[in-house]
Structure 1
Amino acid sequence: MQRIGIIGVGEIGRAIVEGLRDGGGTAPEVFLSPRGARTAAELSERFEGVHVCADNQGVLDRSEVVIIAVRRHDRQEALAGLRIGDDRTVINLMAGVATADLRRTLATRAPIVRAIPLPAVRERRSTTVTFPSHPVVDSLFDQLGGALPVADEDAFNVFSALTGTLTTHYAYLATLTSWAAGHGIAPDAADRYVRGLFQNVGRSLSDETRPLHRLAADHETPRGNNERVRTTWFDPANAAALAKALDGLLTDLA
């Protein structure tokens, strides 16, 4: 793979470029759309072999693999009228946009692969779900932390729904720091402590010999503080509310 194009240079587009260019070794040429002009220009100035095209058609014409990362509700404006050869490979990062939908918009027979890269691809440590499995696409994301191909689009949408919980985790941590500040702890001290606490939790997740429920049990003392908060706050009703929210999101993504 020598040439990659990205249409829609937001946070994920930036992360992909950084992961590819900071990884050492031979990196592909990258062609960026002018959409997200400030980010595209900054990446072009920062990395040799990263270019900003005049328009989206220019990205398609110069690339072997095209990553489409525009927002779902902007796709008609961004993609309408584009011409893409059947010899290209298209990677669709738009949540809730099925392969058949995108194929109609692009009017192409080129392979289309859906993917869910996360910002951690910039450090090449994010597992990216893909559908269907495709050697070129899976090889690309293997460079960025690993590819996880799934069997069908229904399974892909389940993983997409799980991704929708990410900012809830950050908001949970922010709520903890606000609670501590409300009890007289300096906000910067609370922030530092909560970050360190959950960074250590994150490190424990690298132990794949223990399933998640086992990790929870191993960090809990019977009738201890952790068990008390888990059973009084994250009770069956709370767990059911989370499942209901995910079910609703999954319905919208299908």
Structure 2
Amino acid sequence: MRLGFVGTGGITRAIVTGLLKVGAEVETIALSNRTARIANDLAALHPKVRVCESNQQVLDTSDVVCLAVLPTIARDVIRELAFAPTHRVISFIPGLRTDELSKLIPDAVSVTRAVPLPAVEQGIGTTAVYPPHDVARRLFSSVGTAVEVESEDQFDCLHTVTATMASYFAFMQSQADWLIGKGLPPEKARTFLSSYCAGMAHRAEHTDYSFPELIKHSITPGGMNEKVLLELSSAGAFDLYPRALDGVLEWLKGFH
């Protein structure tokens, strides 16, 4: 696979770093020079990574092309490019659906959407993919887990829930602040909470329990887990998530 990236931001850096770390079977990796600092840093990691002089050169030296540009400029960027019938295109562009992508890129052999997450850098990221495609599946399974869905609406919903990352870390920070306020050193609080949360995620991933079952198994009647859950539930804390996510989904649809 000759892989190319049009757009060299944070997610491109995470994917390329992850691919190199796990030794993925990629022949070459071509990068656009739009963000020269990131592109040059990645090129320094391995000889198979090279920085191109233009976005078109990325296409000319690749057979799998990843589009990683902002939605506000995506259409203009794509219109300037000449795609070949051999190109397999994977788009990370929020809100730009496959029907419009196919019109913008009529010559490509396939067009797939994906939402890679930052943990692909460590080889443990989850990536939503639509429509199911063997190339995207192989690429993102090498740096974590590829979750393929059968409809674009399902894909947009998976994309929407990735908007909770900052809130998740804010939740961790609130616990860290409490621990630090009780006299625990900040580095101890961070180490404990990071490992604690990783353990819970591992349990969810590696058991057949549903989330309600995991909640039940985490509670001792009258115990401390039940106390915190009841207090947060009575305050409506968990009701805020669906409302916030509905707002993000509508925002994403605004890019259609």
TM-score normalized by structure 2?
0.90
Question: In the alignment, residue 5 of structure 1 is paired with which amino acid?
Answer: G
Corresponding residue of 1:53: 52
- Cross-structure match for 1:167: 166
Secondary structure (helix, strand or coil) at the match of 1:147 reads: strand
Q: Counterpart in 2 of 1:34?
A: 33
Give the AA of the match of 2:67: I
Match of 1:143 in 2: 142
Which residue type is aligned with residue 72 of structure 2?
H
Native 8 Å contact 2:3 2:26 kept in 1: no
In the TM superposition, what whole-angstrom CA distance separates every residue of 1:53-112 from its partner, at most 9, and x where no partner exists?
Answer: 001111111110000111222324533411111321110111222123333444545411
Please list, as runs of the form range in 1=range in 2, the aligned pairs for 1:1-254 lying within 5 A after superposition: 1=1, 3-24=2-23, 26-106=25-105, 108-235=107-234, 237-254=236-253
Q: CA deviation at 1:175?
A: 1.3
* Superposition deviation, residue 223 in structure 1: 1.5
Superposed CA RMSD in Å reads 2.0
How far has the Cα of 1:211 moved from its partner? 1.5
Aligned residues of 2:87 and 2:108 also touching (Cα < 8 A): no
State the Cα deviation string for residues 191-238 of structure 1 (Å, max 9, x = none): 233223223223322323212221222121112111111111134732
Counterparts in 2 of 1:192 and 1:25: CA distance versus 1, 3 Å = closer
The CA distance in 1 between the partners of 2:148 and 2:252, in whole Å, is 18
TM-score normalised by the chain length of structure 1: 0.91
1:75 partner amino acid? A
Q: Secondary structure at the match of 1:113?
A: strand
Asked whether the 8 Å contact 1:81–1:106 carries over to 2, the reply is no
C-alpha distance in structure 1 between counterparts of 2:12 and 2:62, whole Å = 15
- Structure 1: runs of 5 or more not aligned: none
Contact map agreement 2:113 2:130 (CA 8 A) in 1: yes
* Alpha-carbon distance in 2 for matches of 1:134, 1:188: 42
CA distance in 2, matches of 1:235, 1:52: 54
The alpha-carbon distance between structure 1 residues 29 and 129, as it changes in their structure 2 partners (threshold 3 A), is same
Structure 1 position 144, deviation (Å): 2.2
Question: Does the aligned pair in 1 maintain the 2:232–2:238 contact within 8 Å?
Answer: no
Residues 1:192 and 1:137: Cα distance change in structure 2 (over 3 Å): closer
Rounded to whole Å, the distance in 1 between the matches of 2:152 and 2:63 is 24
Tell me how far apart the structure 2 counterparts of residues 208 and 88 of structure 1 sit (CA, whole Å): 39
Task: State the 1:113 CA deviation.
Answer: 0.2
What amino acid does structure 2 have at the position aligned with 1:60?
L
CA contact (8 A) 2:17 2:121 kept: yes
Q: Deviations over 1:176-200 (max 9, x none)?
A: 1112323443333332332232232
